[in-house]
Amino acid sequence: MKRTLALLTILLAAFACKPKAVEQDRLQLMRPVEDWTADAVVYELNTRQATAEGTLAAAEKKLPELKELGVDVVWLMPIYPIGVEGRKGTLGSYYAIKDYCDVNPEFGTLEDFDRFVETAHGLGLKVILDWVANHTSPDHPWVTEKDPSWYVRDSVTGKTIVEYDWTDIAKLNYANPEMRDAMASSMRFWLDRGIDGFRCDVAFQVPQDFWSDVFTAFRQEYPRRLFFLAEGEETFLHDAGFDCTYAWKLHHLLNDIAQGKADGDSLVSYLAWNKENYGGAHRLMFTSNHDENSWNGTEYERMGDAWQAMSVLCWTLPGSQPLIYTGQEVGLNHRFEFFEKDPMPDWHHNATTDFYAYLACLKHSHKALRSDNPAIEIISATDSDFVFKRFLDEDTVTVSVGLKAPWKWNVTVPESRIAHVEPPCWWVGMKTDLQLMVHGEGISGWDVSIEGSGLKVTKVQKAESPNYLFIDISVGRNVKPGTYDLVFTNDRQSFRWPYTILAREEGSAGRQSFTTSDFIYLICPDRFANADPDNDNTLDTKEKADRNEPFGRHGGDLQGIIDHLDYVSDLGATAIWCTPLLLDDQEHESYHGYACGDYYRIDPRFGSNSLYKEYVRKAHEKGIKVIMDIVTNHCGTAHWWMEDLPFQDWIHQFPEYTGSNFQFSTLMDPNGSKYDLNLQESGWFVPSMPDMNLDNEFLLKYFQQWAIWWTEYSGQDGLRVDTYPYNEKVPMSKWCEAVRNEYPDINIVGECWDVNYDQVAYWQGDNANADGFNSHLPSIMDFALQSAINAALCENEAQWDNGMMRVYNALSHDATYHDISKMMIFLSNHDHYRVADSWHQDPDKMKLAYTLLATVRGIPQLFYGDEMMFATGKGYKSDGELRMDFPGGWQGDEKDLFTEEGRQGTDAELYEYARKLFRWRKDNDVIHDGRTMHFLTRDNTYAFFRYNDSGKVFVYINNSLDEKTIPWSHYAEIASGLGEGTNVLTGEMVTVTDSTVVGPCSALVVDYR
Ligand SMILES: [Ca+2]
Ligand SMILES: [Ca+2]
Ligand SMILES: [Ca+2]
């Protein structure tokens, strides 16, 4: 409970200053200073405990997450073989070293180490090694093999000596020059392997001249910037050449403040003392480290609810070189065992991660916070608060920290004169031109340029509102990825806004997308699984969670989906389409996400932009593609730009509320009127969703870049476009063209909710339309087939054109479509009745439906829960209710349908049936690419073959309540010569003949490959 309160305080404070996750993501990408040590964030990696495996290879996999967190320097705690003699515990202390030039076998090999460093460097991370020069283990070979004078020895017994309670060490003797040389060569051993410096254990116990000798030599021998961090606060360490010393005194003072034993005056005295003794030297500031954690308690134990306020001080006071110790990044409140394996739980990005990421961003993006900048102006120091300004050149950061409960903090930065820069970063080598939309009070009164070779502002355009600028920037092919300043100037002053240009991922443009070989699982993220109850409510979003309210927010989130990727994959699905994950900040019914409040921000109740990226990465690891739901037709009334539109025609405005007429025929009707067409495309979908005007060229460009940005940023695989025909069709076709110009193989599926074959076909790209219109939209949802299947399965009695004749009829129109392989087929989605409700919760009908979905042409999509007959039991359609919570997704749920043990009876039977079919479909090219031949009956059955050169699949659906005998001989033109095949549903070998009987309401699928 205590922790939850603390986290709420963080959010409160964070949102008071520079709130948004997207801002954090943007800031995270920046590195404005040249000497990498000046704004570097240090992470102390405890290899043994950081992962379950406790190896360098496992830790290497964590590096991208550390990078994302904002870490710059990875300090590896000692990785060398540990002595056996006098060993503490089972595994021993890292600091009792038996061999300086090898890797502890517990952690892996030298090759693993080299790979770790290579990966770190590839990510732009630096690696420093923990160096223990003061002592070795008592069984280090030097003890016996070298001259006794290599060690400090007891004058009486001649034995090596220990210090403190370190009974597992032998102290080295720095009076011996040969030992010094051996020590220096051991350090070179690692510098030769490419490391970036050392953190030196008890550095103050080793003579100053040793350090100054080796550092002077190393800095000459290794021209790269090396970083030396001393464990010690003695000022001589800086004279000896250390870049950074421990700010122990500050650490103890912060503990005292947190415990009510010190106040603002003591901070003022400390700062004066620090300035006098250290000037502009780097000082390692921390709320925890390995010693504090294991021996004195976690920051939560020592500082309680003050931990984040004290952290803010550690990251913003003069000299600060901030440190994060293993586990702090996720708020782990646990003292690690020091001599035993005691791994932290798997890394879960959470609110504490966001907090540290925010601090890292702040550090990186403000030169006023550089570690070598001593400048500070104290504005107020009392017993209850401490306010100060950090400044360097034109940069200023104002920090206010409460020194008493409720431990508030606030950071103000000058860039707040800009509220939005979108897209928030860009890449070298994109085909799409970059046009920034900059939003900030009075921004149109400023001139803009950009610094950096190969970058140029080519055009600056004003909007109708004085608070916007549209800035065209050309990004040359040779631009070096990095952060460059946009410089805004007017008559009197100027300010800068850092903008990051990244390198593209290899193969990004050629990414493959979803195809007929995929099976798409559709998820409503608010209703799937709630892995992080801490984000159910956030202080910067309006609607609060209420699981009892069908149209309210229930708390499901991205982490919940990540945690259940195995479930999705087990079912045979290879792609996920989530209904929108971007911020929807409406006061009511925001759970569905279709009323966007910020196009560049994942809703914080779902996670963050970085978590979305992680979701894509983890899905890919499981062979699952990710499809993003895109809404260009409308935003939400709570979108930030609604208070200050760039142009009056940014949205469609009418004197009074005007809804769409929902008539797609107006878009292709040769007899249609402009009046009706205008209402279709410009009328609002509902009053809470302003209709966007894609005829505005800036808006169209905005949406083109936006879809491309998310694809490039996250690595996602495809797009689904909501309410497609409500967008102005020509601008929307240009939108498709732009996205596919950047990613030629990307698939985009449009929601064209119409059951008329010709009207569905009209929307598919390259279709031969009478009016010459080409949508450039590759995929369309097959609402015509969906409607036929839904109606057919409600009908048990055979009549002339009902029952399965509907499905036959639907598929007989395939000639209408330009490309049937790109039709997305489905039984239902989040806007449709639960099919189980339509089919009277009859499991046999569900099975027939799965059989069709898995075998007819196109790209199948299933709505979550339909694999187990989720039903509302209501006779009416209620969106909030049909998008029900997945049982097992919430802590304390009675049933857990995610697990095999939790699925019983019909749930288990249907799940297994669907899984069998979709797994069989997974690598079945006859189903993916084969042609179809079907046979007419009017007895409520449907028979068809899928076939290609390599095989045939026969499908027979009996939707009647009677047994049916298959008229096999009618199929001779395709079936002759077919002998035994595999009954896909039972696995048995079967031979179908004119006497084969299929039971009431059941299906037969035979694979002849
Ligand atoms: Ca949640
Ligand atoms: Ca519209
Ligand atoms: Ca328009």
Task: For residue range 211-229, list pLDDT tens digits in order.
Answer: 999 999 999 999 899 999 9
Looking at per-residue confidence, does 446 or 367 come out higher? 446
Using CB atoms within 10 Å of the CB of residue 86, give its burial: 0 to 12 exposed, 13 to 18 middle, 19+ buried: middle
The string of pLDDT tens digits covering residues 942-980 is 999 999 999 999 999 999 999 999 999 999 999 999 999
CA distance 690 to 682: 10
Query: How far is the centre of ligand 1, averaged over its atoms, from the C-alpha of 533 (Å)?
Result: 4
Query: How far is the centre of ligand 2, averaged over its atoms, from the C-alpha of 729 (Å)?
Result: 9
Query: How far is the centre of ligand 1, averaged over its atoms, from the C-alpha of 536 (Å)?
Result: 4
Confidence tier at 32 by pLDDT (50, 70, 90): very low
Q: What is the pLDDT of residue 519?
A: 98
Confidence tier at 589 by pLDDT (50, 70, 90): very high
Mean local confidence (pLDDT), 229-258: 97
Q: What is the pLDDT of residue 799?
A: 87
Ligand number with the minimum distance to the CA of 660: 2
Ligand number with the minimum distance to the CA of 679: 2
CA distance 402 to 597: 32
CA distance 94 to 107: 11
Question: Are the CB atoms for 845 and 789 separated by under 8 Å?
Answer: no
Mean local confidence (pLDDT), 361-374: 89
Question: Are the CB atoms for 933 and 974 separated by under 8 Å?
Answer: yes
Confidence tier at 414 by pLDDT (50, 70, 90): low
Measured on CA atoms in the order 566, 571, 577, 581, is the torsion positive or negative?
Answer: negative
pLDDT at residue 538 tops 90: no
Active site residues: 722, 751
Burial of 443-481, coded b for 16+ CB within 10 Å and e otherwise, reads: bbebebebebeebebeebeebebebbbbbebebeeebee
Query: How far is the centre of ligand 2, averaged over its atoms, from the C-alpha of 813 (Å)?
Result: 29
Q: How many CB atoms lie within 10 A of CB 677?
A: 19
pLDDT at residue 16 tops 70: no
Q: What is the pLDDT of residue 4?
A: 30
Q: What is the pLDDT of residue 411?
A: 84
Ligand number with the minimum distance to the CA of 722: 2
Query: How far is the centre of ligand 1, averaged over its atoms, from the C-alpha of 539 (Å)?
Result: 14
Mean local confidence (pLDDT), 681-693: 97
Query: How far is the centre of ligand 1, averaged over its atoms, from the C-alpha of 13 (Å)?
Result: 21
Mean local confidence (pLDDT), 39-62: 96
Using CB atoms within 10 Å of the CB of residue 93, give its burial: 0 to 12 exposed, 13 to 18 middle, 19+ buried: buried
Mean local confidence (pLDDT), 281-287: 97
pLDDT at residue 21 tops 50: no
Q: What is the pLDDT of residue 415?
A: 52
Query: How far is the centre of ligand 2, averaged over its atoms, from the C-alpha of 450 (Å)?
Result: 36
pLDDT at residue 802 tops 90: yes
Q: What is the pLDDT of residue 34?
A: 65
pLDDT at residue 10 tops 70: no
Query: How far is the centre of ligand 1, averaged over its atoms, from the C-alpha of 652 (Å)?
Result: 35
pLDDT at residue 717 tops 70: yes
Mean local confidence (pLDDT), 825-831: 98
∠220-201-222 over CA atoms, to 5°? 15
Query: How far is the centre of ligand 2, averaged over its atoms, from the C-alpha of 583 (Å)?
Result: 20
Q: What is the pLDDT of residue 35?
A: 84
Ligand number with the minimum distance to the CA of 531: 1
Query: How far is the centre of ligand 2, averaged over its atoms, from the C-alpha of 721 (Å)?
Result: 13
Ligand number with the minimum distance to the CA of 541: 1
Mean local confidence (pLDDT), 7-26: 36
Looking at per-residue confidence, does 68 or 545 come out higher? 545
Q: What percent of the chain has pLDDT over 70?
A: 96
Question: Are the CB atoms for 138 and 95 separated by under 8 Å?
Answer: no
Q: What is the pLDDT of residue 866?
A: 98
Confidence tier at 57 by pLDDT (50, 70, 90): very high
User: pTM of this prediction?
Assistant: 0.69
At residue 606, what is the residue type? F
Query: How far is the centre of ligand 3, averaged over its atoms, from the C-alpha of 698 (Å)?
Result: 13
Confidence tier at 533 by pLDDT (50, 70, 90): very high
∠475-477-483 over CA atoms, to 5°? 50
Mean local confidence (pLDDT), 104-108: 97
Ligand number with the minimum distance to the CA of 697: 3
Composition of the chain by helix, strand, coil, percent to 5: 35, 20, 45
Closest CA to 908 of 895, 891, 919: 895
pLDDT at residue 12 tops 80: no
Ligand number with the minimum distance to the CA of 731: 3
In which order are the strands placed within the sheet that holds 385-392? 377-381, 385-392, 395-402, 409-412
CA distance 997 to 223: 82
Question: Are the CB atoms for 307 and 284 separated by under 8 Å?
Answer: no
The string of pLDDT tens digits covering residues 415-429 is 567 889 999 999 999
Query: How far is the centre of ligand 3, averaged over its atoms, from the C-alpha of 581 (Å)?
Result: 26
Mean local confidence (pLDDT), 307-325: 97
Query: How far is the centre of ligand 1, averaged over its atoms, from the C-alpha of 608 (Å)?
Result: 12
Mean local confidence (pLDDT), 971-994: 97
CA distance 483 to 367: 13
* Both structure tokens of 704: 């083109």
Question: Are the CB atoms for 884 and 868 separated by under 8 Å?
Answer: no
Q: What is the pLDDT of residue 514?
A: 98
Residue with tokens 């009511």, as numbered in its chain: 588
3-state secondary structure 14-68: HHHHCCCHHHHHHHHCCCCCCCCCCCCCEEEECHHHHCCCCCHHHHHHHHHHHHH
